[in-house]
Chains A and B, each alone.
Chain A
Amino acid sequence: MDSTTRRGIVRDALGIGIATGAYALSFGAISTAAGLSLLQTCALSVLMFTGASQFALVGVVGAGGSVWAGAATAALLGSRNALYGVRLSSVLDRAGWKRAAAAHFVIDETTAMAIAREPVPESRFAFWATGAAVFTLWNLGTLVGALATHALPDPKVLGFDAAPPAAFLALLAPRLRAREPLAIALGAGVVALVCLPFVPAGVPLLIVAVLVAIFGIVRSGR
């Protein structure tokens, strides 16, 4: 890999890092407004390090659900990261501790950057460069967003309760480019609202997850 290629990969990684850092600002703010402490908010970005799951956990807690309902939703949303392993396992080192370290960085952004590059050394460099840039700026953004929100008297006055649905929508939109996911999204929204008055907070999400899993398995069986 020559130095021009290397520089190009680093530049792309920084670009993605800065974009996700900006979006971490809103995670830090939403998490703090939901009632998580500064340390809990930062722990999620360091240890969970997968955006949609983090937003889901704090979103469920902020809406009055239990942290366990939030944790279950976060784990279900994290299931897609397991599928990225299929595409990355040929690129990454499979030796013990290196695999354990690489696993923490297996997210949407690093997968997209790694599979866009060939041959393997470039792909592997793109994975680590993107992972390092996103991890650094994601955690920095989280800290700044959380600290700024701590300084506010009443987050609800600033419309912070309207921020999580917009964040979920922005995460959902890129996945709706075909008719089937759009139909599933609409159906899931309706089912969740129909269940909501009758079950504990957060449970409508788990009902939706079970139904979509059954739907997926039945559909692929045909």
Chain B
Amino acid sequence: MMWAGVLVACAACYALKLAGLSLPASVLQDARVQRTVPLVPVALLAALVATQTFSTGHHLVVDVRTAALIVAIGMVLLRAPFLVVVASAAATAALLRLL
């Protein structure tokens, strides 16, 4: 099942890239498309941050991941590189669990 999901998702992502090079410009330059598509990643990434920080299964929780997110926000504001943002969040969670 995992493989099927992985391969279908890969095919869908490739199809979207190919569509961009293949569809007539009039479709892709439609005001609604140009206005809406860039908003999708903003909303989805924000929803991913929220759900993966504040939930376990179907329960809303506040735990060490909240502290890790606060550290990550600080790192982003300091313009730290991607790997530093991720590693400092993981290290924060690991250290707080040791306490």
Contact = CB atoms under 8 A, between A and B. Distances in A.
Contacts, number: 307
Q: What are the 6 closest A-B residue pairs judged by CB atoms, nearest first?
A: A85-B20, A216-B36, A67-B5, A159-B93, A166-B89, A189-B50
A13 interface: no
Contacts of A166: 68-69, 72, 75, 85-86, 88-90
Interface residues of B, number: 76
A165 B39 contact: no
Interface in B65-99: 65, 68-69, 72-73, 75-76, 81-83, 85-95, 97
Contacts of A73: 44, 48
Chain A residues touching B, majority SS = helix
A201 B37 CA distance: 24
A192 to B, nearest CB: 4
Contacts of A163: 86-87, 89-90
Interface residues of A, number: 100
Interface in B13-37: 13-14, 16-23, 25, 28-29, 31-37
